[in-house]
Structure 1
Amino acid sequence: MRSFRSFRTFVPRPQAPRQLVCFPHAGGAASAFRGWAELLGPSTAVVAVQYPGRQDRFGDPPPADIAALAGQIAVEIAPLLTRPTAFFGHSMGATVAYEVARRLQPRFPSRLARLYVSACDAPPARRPRTTVIADEEIRAYVRSLGGSGAALLADDELWQLSLPALRNDFRMIETYRYRTAAPLTCPVTAIAGDADDSVSPDDVRRWQELTIGPFEAVVQPGGHFYFDESAEGLAALFREDSRWSRADRIVEV
């Protein structure tokens, strides 16, 4: 059986008719999606991306930038796209998921059934920073977002262990530069928490500019990590998306 370094599957479902590939936020890891397979039910296989530099990839060198990270993932993920597949990316993960999707589309135009982007403004709205973000600024920002990641702040040893990956992720976010490319053809759903002070529903609506496929903006109750508060609402969105459920099965080429 082939080993895929970048992906973790906590509940294998090789016969499930569709799959969801999840891209974590800055500082996040594949384990953030550990319980999602049970939430979505037996018809969906959940695959979580494990970025370098954290958990069981702690010793792997961090990527130089989001483009390099997306390029690595795109090469490795292509053989997995043998059934209707949706990408879900949260915060930084939304940008990574989009960059992976745009790399796959020219070669495999029918392999991505839908892109879900969560709590992230659209790439054309991003402006790179010229100053380096300080560690305490990162810590303050993580605290302001809340969610399970804020628990890192209570344990200095855990915080120091997590800081290198966070520092590199924030550097990649702050230096990311959107480059104009052909629009996606797959449907895009952009999701925002109604109490998220960092990304508003209006911010996520700009993702419509990046696809010629159907687009919808969805507002969920909660803050930046709205699914920590009520994962069922997001799971219901995935389960009820009939366009993804009825996608034709993809044949490996």
Structure 2
Amino acid sequence: MERETQMLRGLFGEAPRHNEGLLRSTFEAMERTVLQLQRLTNADNDPKHIWRKYEIWARGLITSLDELEQSRYAAERFHSRVTKTYQDEMTPEEETDYRRHLYFYKNGLIRVFSVLDKLGTLLNGVLELNTGKVKQRFSYFTVLRQMRYTGTEPELAEKLGAIKESYKDPMSRLRKQRNTEIHYMNSEMQDDLWQRHQALDGRVKLEDIGHNIADLDQALEMVCKTLLASFQHIARLLRAKS
């Protein structure tokens, strides 16, 4: 994955990311699964294109995780340049960095749920859950509920459920922000207006962007643990089919 990690770090004149720890383990598990799917395709020429489809989805998830990590990193780097409490205290340069932080932060929080939903699509296919019969447009969390309801792969369902519960608070806060960002027009302007109504002097206080970054860090960790557990389990299922 080193070849794909220069894009946003290059904005800061930095070297590409070197994957370590949980992030590295997650990428490696995903890449091993891609190789397994390739071997299954080569073994029987994949007449129904099932393995090839899952390979494409797995590759897409690798790219999506990389993009999520880069968005989080850029949001954090621009956040580190913002030192003021009120918007009217910022220099033009600092306000530009603040706007850049917001851009990458919002991009990151949207990608958190995008990655999970893409994983839900892959799990739904590999595990033959038929979640689309229950809900046509389903999320990762719908797939997880379907696993529990049907008793499919209970070991994996229990593990994914435990991960979900352990990150419930930050994920709930991010989900509310994601929904506001996607479904409400001019959410930032409405927030500024609300703040002016609350403040006697009409000044706009910046939100706690440090707390936002902490939530995004927790979400990235949750996504990595979820992907790692899922791809390790998928790999075991594919080995049984080899």
Q: If the TM-score is normalised by the length of the shorter chain, which range does it land in?
A: under 0.3
Higher relative contact order (CA 8 A, sep 6+): 2
The structure with the greater share of residues assigned to strand is: 1
TM-score when scaled to structure 2? 0.27
TM-score when scaled to structure 1? 0.26
